[in-house]
Structure 1
Amino acid sequence: MEVTFLGTGTSQGIPIIGSEHPVCLSKDPKDKRLRVSVLVSWNNYNILIDCGPDFRQQMLANNVKKLDAIFYTHEHNDHTAGLDDIRPFFFRQGDIPVFAHQRVLKALQKRFDYIFTTENKYPGAPGVKENVIENKPFSFHGLTVTPVEFWHNRLQVFGFRMEDFAYLTDIKTIEEEEVEKLSDLKVLVVSALRIQPHHSHFNLEEALDFIQKLKPETAYLTHISHMLGFHEEIEQELPPNVHLAYDNLKITV
């Protein structure tokens, strides 16, 4: 299984438009962060987790030529706004399977009604095949995918475990029975927004405490804002098995 970090930034990305913050002015490529998303490549299948506003750029940067499914964590704009840009994949492959909570699918249907409609559909619009996710494991071409439920303030979000890899973004609180799904991981990816506490995201301290509790072999932090600090400085302060993810990083699980 190969995981490509397509984007590792928060909802505004880094740099923020017009910002004079030192991190936004950084020349280090690792401080340039598109909106958060990963591509999981397994057994010749490409699974996208979240399809945000930088999707087109991310596909071009990583020369992705095939897309077999999109898994959605939740409906916020930075995780969904790129759906229209699946058109090149649709024209080559047909309807693209999307997997999401019923609430998220309804939000997508409202926002992208021209994609989901079956009546008088515009010929240039892409198509999708809807798959409703509940909080129980499901199979994708023989791969067992285990949703992990947690809370982004008051909004329910799904993370995903696939074999020894798990991806959790926009997390603030999680019930103990969901934590139990995350034992014996080789790689955990979890969001860490900034140093200061936040009402709907783990800050760095909370993310590190969570990692210490789960004890994966390796952990990567994502969904990072400029307020976390410079990549190289924060990386040096992390435990040996914890790293800051950065855009276009590829890892093998």
Structure 2
Amino acid sequence: MKLTFLGTGTSQGVPVIGCSCEVCTSINPKDHRLRTSAMIEVDGLNLVVDSGPDFRQQMLRQKVNRVHAILFTHEHKDHVAGLDDVRPFNFKYKRDMPIYCTKRVHESLKREYMYIFDDQFSYPGIPKIKTNLIENKPFIIQDVPITPVEVWHHKLPVFGYRIGDVAYITDANRIEPSEKEKLRGLKVLVINALRKEQHISHFTLAEAIELGQELEAE
């Protein structure tokens, strides 16, 4: 299994438009970060978590030639705004792009991308999507078992995903004890840590470290 961080930036990306702070004016490549997304390569599959507004740039930068499925964590724009850019994969492989998401996320996508999901707007140039609705229980993509982990992004339930001994969780500030049990025995835990100061919808750096220690991730 291989995990690639396609983006680790905030919802606005780093640098932020119009900001002249020390980070946003830095020439350090570590301070140039795209919107949050990851790709997990497992058993010959390329599984992407979230297609945000930088999806196209991320695919080109990593020279990704194929994506077998996209797993959505939630419906915020910084996680779904690149869905239209799956079209090159449609054209190249002549197949619909499978997406996995909750019913709530799917309803949001249908509003955001009416021209994709409403047949009356269908024409050859639009993205072709195959929707797979999931709930908070394990599912399988081509023999690869995947376990959703429900976390809280302030008041919004969000899915993280566990694949084997790797878990990827973004946009969270609280995890219920029952969901934490799904995260035991991990070798790799990826968890958001927005900043050092308290935040209403994201773990702080200290909270993320404490959670990793609590779960005893390697």
Matched, 1:198 2:195: no
Supply the distance in 1 between the matched residues of 2:4 and 2:201 (Cα, whole angstroms).
Answer: 25
- The Cα of 1:120 is off from its aligned counterpart by 4.4
Helix, strand or coil at the partner of 2:18: coil
Q: Give the match for residue 157 of structure 1.
A: 158
3-state DSSP class of the match of 1:185?
Answer: coil
Residues 134-154 of structure 1 show CA distances to partners (whole Å, capped at 9, x for unaligned) of: 000001111110000011000
What amino acid is the match of 2:103?
Q
Q: Counterpart in 1 of 2:177?
A: 176
Q: Which runs of 4+ in 1 moved over 4 A?
A: none
Q: Is the 8 A contact 2:115 2:121 kept in 1?
A: no
Give how far 1:122 is off: 2.2
Residue 123 of structure 1 aligns to a residue whose secondary structure is coil
Is the 2:102–2:134 contact (alpha carbons within 8 Å) kept by the matching residues of 1?
A: yes
**Partners in 1 of 2:211 and 2:63 — Cα distance?**
34
Note the C-alpha offset of 1:113.
Answer: 1.1
Query: What are structure 2's unaligned runs of at least 5 residues?
Result: none
Q: Which amino acid aligns with 1:177?
A: S
Matched, 1:20 2:33: no
Name the counterpart of 2:53. Answer: 53
Number of aligned residue pairs: 217
Change in CA separation of 1:121 and 1:23 when aligned onto 2, cut-off 3 Å: same
Residue 86 of structure 1, CA deviation: 0.6
Give 1:44's aligned residue: 44
Q: Distance in 1 between matches of 2:92 and 2:114?
A: 22
1:1-253 matches, cutoff 5 A: 1-93=1-93, 94-217=95-218
Q: Is the Cα contact below 8 Å between 1:49 and 1:71 reproduced in 2?
A: yes
- CA distances 1:71-104 after superposition (whole Å, capped 9, x unpaired): 0000000000000011100112211000001000
Rounded to whole Å, the distance in 2 between the matches of 1:25 and 1:122 is 43
Q: Distance in 2 between matches of 1:48 and 1:118?
A: 26
Q: Return 5+ residue gaps in structure 1 as ranges.
A: 218-253
CA deviation map 1:144-187 (0-9, x unaligned): 10000011000010000000000000011111010000011010
Report the alpha carbon displacement of residue 114 of structure 1 after superposing the two structures with TM: 1.0
**Is this contact kept in 2: 1:91–1:126, CA < 8 A?**
no
RCO comparison, higher one (Cα < 8 Å, 6+): 1
Cα separation, 2, equivalents of 1:154 and 1:112: 24
Q: Distance in 1 between matches of 2:213 and 2:90?
A: 42
CA–CA distance in structure 1, aligned partners of residues 189 and 49 of structure 2? 14
Letter in 2 for 1:205: A
What is the CA–CA distance in structure 1 between the aligned matches of 2:125 and 2:208, rounded to whole Å? 43
CA distance in 1, matches of 2:21, 2:196: 15
Check 1:33–1:120 CA distance in 2 against 1; reply closer, same or farther (3 A cut): closer
| TM-score, normalised by the number of residues in structure 1 | 0.84
Residue identity opposite 2:209 in structure 1: L
Computed over aligned residues only, the root mean square deviation of the Cα atoms, in angstroms, reads 0.8
Does structure 1 retain, via aligned residues, the 8 Å contact 2:23–2:31?
yes
> What secondary structure sits across from 1:171 in the alignment?
coil
Give the secondary-structure state (helix, strand or coil) at the position aligned to 1:119: helix
After TM superposition, give the deviation of residue 36 of structure 1 in Å: 0.2
Mapped to 2, the partners of 1:103 and 1:147 lie a distance apart of 15
Q: Is the 8 A contact 1:114 1:122 kept in 2?
A: no
Question: Could you tell me the TM-score, scaled by structure 2's length?
Answer: 0.98
Q: Is the 8 A contact 1:90 1:96 kept in 2?
A: yes
Q: Secondary structure at the match of 2:64?
A: coil
Task: Tell whether the 8 Å contact from 1:53 to 1:82 is kept in structure 2 after alignment.
Answer: yes
Percent identity reads: 52
